[in-house]
Amino acid sequence: MINKLLLITLIFSCTSLTGQSITHPSNNHAFLQNEIAEIHISINNTDLNILLGDSLYTDHHFPATFYYHSSALSDTIQNVGFRVRGNTSRGAYKKSFKVSFNEYTQSKKFKGIEKMNLVGQHNDPSLLRYWLSLNILNTNHLISSRSSFIKLYINGEYKGVYLNVEHIDDEFLQKRFIGNDQGNLYKCTWGADLKYIGSNPSSYYGAYELKTNEVANNYSKLIQFIDTLNHIDNEDFPCFIEENFEVELYLKTLAAEMIIGHWDGYAFNKNNYYLYRQPSTGKFVFIEYDMDNTFGIDWFGIDWANRDLNSWHNTNRPLIVRLLSYPFYNDLFNTYLDQILTDLNSSDWYNELQLKVSLLSSAVQSDTYYSMDYGFQFTDFLYAVNHSFGAHVKKGLSEYINERINSGFNQIQIPGNHSHPCINHIENVVDPNRELVKIIDILGRETGFKANKPLIYIFSDGTAEKICKASP
């Protein structure tokens, strides 16, 4: 496919996707890519029965012993927390689990991680969609969890092939926001549409769960952000969002979300993302997670491989609707669409998938839980790259990717030469005879001078002016 987009140079508000340095940690022994490690969980049988019975729909941990084995490493950790994880997947035969190394002993870790998510992927015959989604995010230098395939045993019983997905928590932040990792992290689950629902913090607890600094339990900055996001006037919105949100990083993440068909995220289903507020800048960062319903898995009767990328999202998503209403941001979004599609089109994704199939084949063939939920057979796994399963798996991986590349290039809107809506202000001439009393930002917070930001200058004669100045 020839890229039809006429590339242009855009003037960004900053020199990178985020104004702060974000580290992307490399894989270690916990996330092997060319080997399937074994994880053995030993747990009291009575506790296991309760975990899978009365405690199935709770997040109660049970003490267990964790044993990890690969060709290069064998390690045993006593007294870890073990529980079922997920939402609808708790009712599946092939359940997903969480290992919490620090549940009973603070700071206990395995290869630098405090928690491990073991995802059963019970509705994906390929077992590859989640891994591929994370791989695409990582390839495009977006914030994502590390992952690897493992074989899980519980009390000696083989439970099948699982995807080990790095948990998003304070350890995750420490590895990516070095020296800037002490802010509030909110896990945003179903219902987190970023609409304002009042000033009472309790109104936000269900959909926006604070995962760090829980003792302080401070939702004030999140509520303020959501309130202003929904209510600030169009003139001031661009500068507000630039000052409080990593815009470019999000627009590229949104482009990836749509390309992989992640309908269970924010854009379509108001679900499955995190918001992290960086203490150094006060800016929120958007982080994707739980991307198993991708690449052609569908429950809505929607052809995700051909859905128009510029009208893909739900129209009740204020963050997306307001951003894309500005030609500059819409141009930037379409530029990222082109970039990700071009990278995907030029990559050797097909052989990568086939290599994973070869790596996993024997382990899947022995996985008796693989077939229990949707009747998958081993042949479904072998053919999943090239063929659909039917039912909720409307397209095979290869079919989806090829159609998404072809339709995506045809749907991209060629960017125009639009200036940045925040810095495109006429500087006001300040009367030198007036004394400056203070400077506040558009949210009413007292501040100092900030280049290319609209600020309100309050003077001794009682007047105030909105002024945007370049760097001195």
For the residues 410-431, what does the mean pLDDT come to?
73
Kindly tell me if the per-residue pLDDT of 373 is higher than 80: yes
Kindly tell me if the per-residue pLDDT of 429 is higher than 80: no
CA distances from 116 to 321, 388, 395, 402, 408 (A): 35, 30, 30, 33, 35
Kindly tell me if the per-residue pLDDT of 375 is higher than 90: yes
pTM: 0.88
For the residues 66-89, what does the mean pLDDT come to?
96
Which of 18-32, 48-62, 284-298 is least confident? 18-32
For the residues 435-449, what does the mean pLDDT come to?
78
Encoded tokens for 455: 């600020």
For the residues 26-40, what does the mean pLDDT come to?
96
Kindly tell me if the per-residue pLDDT of 316 is higher than 70: yes
Kindly tell me if the per-residue pLDDT of 407 is higher than 70: yes
Give the DSSP letter of residue 201.
Answer: G
C-alpha span between 287 and 245 (Å, rounded): 12
Residue at token pair 């290319």: 452
pLDDT confidence of residue 324: 98
pLDDT confidence of residue 10: 32
For the residues 379-403, what does the mean pLDDT come to?
97
- The CA radius of gyration of the chain, in Å to the nearest whole number, is 24
Helix (H) or strand (E) holding 239: helix 237-244
pLDDT confidence of residue 234: 95
C-alpha span between 39 and 68 (Å, rounded): 5
Kindly tell me if the per-residue pLDDT of 11 is higher than 60: no
Q: What secondary structure does DSSP assign to 374-436, as a single string?
A: T---HHHHHHTTTS--BTTB-S-HHHHHHHHHHHHHHHPPPP--PPPTTT--PPPPPPTTSPE
C-alpha span between 186 and 154 (Å, rounded): 31
CA distances from 192 to 20, 226, 231, 341 (A): 26, 11, 17, 28
Which of 28-42, 142-156, 392-406, 428-442 is least confident? 428-442
For the residues 308-313, what does the mean pLDDT come to?
98
Encoded tokens for 396: 């095979």
For the residues 32-54, what does the mean pLDDT come to?
97
pLDDT digits (tens, 9 = 90+) for 104-159: 999 899 999 999 999 999 999 999 999 999 999 999 999 999 999 999 999 999 99
Do 262 and 295 contact (CB within 8 A), yes or no?
no
Query: Which range, 181-190, 422-431, 433-442, has the best average confidence (pLDDT)?
Result: 181-190
Do 363 and 42 contact (CB within 8 A), yes or no?
no
pLDDT confidence of residue 469: 59
Encoded tokens for 386: 């090239």
Nearest partner of 143 among 282, 18, 277, 329, judged by Cα: 18
pLDDT digits (tens, 9 = 90+) for 159-192: 999 999 999 999 999 999 999 999 999 999 999 9
pLDDT confidence of residue 442: 67
Kindly tell me if the per-residue pLDDT of 422 is higher than 80: yes
Mean predicted lDDT score pLDDT of the chain: 91
Confidence band for 64, pLDDT divided at 50, 70 and 90: very high
pLDDT confidence of residue 19: 55
Which of 1-15, 170-184, 197-211, 261-275 is least confident? 1-15
For the residues 287-312, what does the mean pLDDT come to?
97
Coil vs helix vs strand at 39: strand
C-alpha span between 120 and 292 (Å, rounded): 10
C-alpha span between 278 and 249 (Å, rounded): 14
pLDDT confidence of residue 452: 61
pLDDT confidence of residue 419: 87
Coil vs helix vs strand at 464: strand
Measured between its terminal Cα atoms, the distance across the chain in Å is 47
Give the DSSP letter of residue 84.
Answer: E
Encoded tokens for 60: 């109660």
- Residues of the chain with pLDDT > 90, as a percent, come to 82
For the residues 409-436, what does the mean pLDDT come to?
74
Kindly tell me if the per-residue pLDDT of 470 is higher than 80: no
pLDDT digits (tens, 9 = 90+) for 330-362: 999 999 999 999 999 999 999 999 999 999 999
pLDDT confidence of residue 427: 39
